Amino acid sequence: MTPATTPSTTSPGTPGAQLGPAAAAPGARGPQSSAPPTRPRRPVTELRELAERGARELGHNAPAQAVARWAVENFPGTLAVACSMADAVLPHVISQEAPGVDVLFLDTGYHFPETLGTRDAVAATMDVNVVDVVPQESVAEQEERLGADLWARDPATCCRLRKVEPLNLALGGYEAWATGVRREEAPTRTATPLVGWDQTHQMVKINPLAPWSLEELMSYATEHGVLVNPLVYDGYPSIGCATCTRRVAPGEDPRSGRWAGFSKTECGIHL
């Protein structure tokens, strides 16, 4: 297993590609722009039929590699991978079938330095195209308009502005997206299919790791030398923004450290 390391001076926006109002600085590491999907989006009816067919063909517990292969065969050039950079297992699984695949990272402006370091390491060492998806407003602009620490007063609105809406825009050019959602992570995720229809984004949603346990995830990382966020080894099995994530005690729900003190359990991108 290869934990990523990061200097304390890591700052948002250092890898190349970005989706949002800000452009990467000249000379930044990684690609400077994200190539648009090579095929136009097919009609919604056709995409929905593909989702239904994929669910039938793959069933409930097909191997992740088989799910990745199905995704790449059916969505050549129109598949995106979403990654929170808790680890790079999902990008690794998909990139074995689709080298250079777009990996979307929601750069909220509130991430742990370790998370940004993991992103940078993935961009530098893996055969993927890491794309920073940034909100319409910087943290400073949002605070000027809505006041400081919106995350502490209204985390749902903060997540909507800094995660949900930017992702909605970023996914517009794709036909399908792959996520690292796993069924064991939370009660809200126990019914996660391998392939389903994303009604919100009107596209196919693919969850190759859905049947995996945390132990299986970490075993894969160890076997293949896949990057893992150092915070995972420091009591953070589920990693979000630094402002809204705490360590989890042994035996606690892996996602209990997210939005602690609030009834909120999801940021909204998987609802």
- What pLDDT is stored for residue 132 in this prediction? 97
CA dist list (Å): 48 to 74, 129, 195, 199, 202: 12, 27, 11, 9, 8
- The whole-angstrom separation of Cα 1 and Cα 205 is 28
For residue 187, the cross-strand partners are: none
Whether the pTM exceeds 0.85: the reply is no
- Among residues 83, 159, 241, 267, the one annotated as catalytic is 267
Confidence tier at 8 by pLDDT (50, 70, 90): very low
- What pLDDT is stored for residue 244 in this prediction? 87
- The larger pLDDT score, comparing residue 24 to residue 212, is at 212
Catalytic residue flag (residue 267): yes
For residue range 174-186, list pLDDT tens digits in order: 999 999 999 987 7
Out of 30-34, 181-185, 218-222, 231-235, which region has the weakest mean confidence (pLDDT)? 30-34
Q: Residue 103 pLDDT > 60, yes or no?
A: yes
C-beta of residue 124 within 8 angstroms of C-beta of residue 30: yes
For residue range 238-271, list pLDDT tens digits in order: 888 998 888 887 767 665 666 555 544 444 464 4
For residue range 122-142, list pLDDT tens digits in order: 999 999 999 999 999 999 999
- What pLDDT is stored for residue 1 in this prediction? 53
- What pLDDT is stored for residue 7 in this prediction? 33
